[in-house]
Structures are given as structure tokens and as C-alpha cells.
Structure 1
Amino acid sequence: LTCPFCERDFMADPTYTRLIQNPHERMLRKEFQNECYEIDAPLEYMPRADPFEVYCFIIDISPAALQNGLVKTAAYVVKQQLQKLQKEETRTMVSIV
């Protein structure tokens, strides 16, 4: 095969070469169809629990924000979002700055 960028020849794995030359087989592989895809690691590579969710709300409390009602609106929106969080998840962390 020849690199399309540097034009150097290189030996590719026969499986890869077969996939490139056969369009039907190429469509069976996600990495040849999509520019972005996710790989799930097997359980033996995931020895610890899933990370917990962390939410950080930053609210402007300047005099102007207090006067025009921005702080009140922001507090209302934060309250709404906190009520939407999953109740069964006890490890979620929330900070308000």
C-alpha cells in the first residue's frame, strides 16, 4: 500500500488490505464507515466502578446581576436541574459557586 500523504510504500496487515479492497467487507467494520465511534472496554479492563457525576453551577452575583434578576433566574434554573437528577444515584456531587 502507498500512504496518501507521504507517498511511501508500506506493508499492511493482510486483513486490512483485504478490507480496503473489498467494499462489502469494509462496510462491516465501524471504523471504516464512521469518522467517530466508541469502543467499550471489556470488564477486566474496568476494575473500578463508573465515575460519579459532578455538576458545577457558577452564578454571577454582581450588583448588576442582582438588580436585573439574573441571580433569581439562575437559582430557579439550578433548582429545576437538580430536581431532574436521578434520585437513586447517591454519589452525585453538586457545587454552586
Structure 2
Amino acid sequence: MLDFPASPFTYSTVEFFRQARGFKQVSEQDFDRFISNLSAGHTVDVSYSVEPPIKSWNDFSDGTRWPHSVVAFQRLTPLPEYFIPEWARLEPKD
């Protein structure tokens, strides 16, 4: 019998994005406003290991590993869904 290492993409990874705990769903415009204020040090990643695929913006500066490095994400569905942290406060539009 072959012994393969465990995949890093486990049930908990799928549930992380399905449940979106700590994140709130926002409009594309609000998402773009939030993303535009992130520092240049954030890394963008697309994962096809979950369904639907996820595009995420990540902060690896403190050594946190994906998916716990995610600071915002987009579900890549026919009608995309956008998520930012619940704590994020967007300034009113001018």
C-alpha cells in the first residue's frame, strides 16, 4: 500500500472559506476600496483546491500560513462573492 503525505488542503480549509468566520460579505466596490488600501507586501493567491476556487489576499509577514494568512478573499463563482474582515471599517465614499 502506498503511503502519501496528508494534503494541506483539508476539510478545515474548505470550511474556512465556506463559513467565512470573521469575514463579512461586501459589494465589489467596497471590496476594491478595502484592497486598494492594503500594503504592497500582501500576496495574492488563487486556490483551485477548494470549490468554488478562491482568490485571496494574504499577509505572511508574521509567519502565519495559508489559509490563516487571508485578509480578504473572493469566491470565484459566476457571480463573484467578496469578503473582508468583520473589523474593517470603510470610510464613506466622497
TM-score computed with the length of structure 2 as normaliser: 0.19
If each structure's helix is expressed as a fraction of its own residues, which one has the higher value?
1
Q: Which has the larger radius of gyration?
A: 1
TM-score computed with the length of structure 1 as normaliser: 0.19
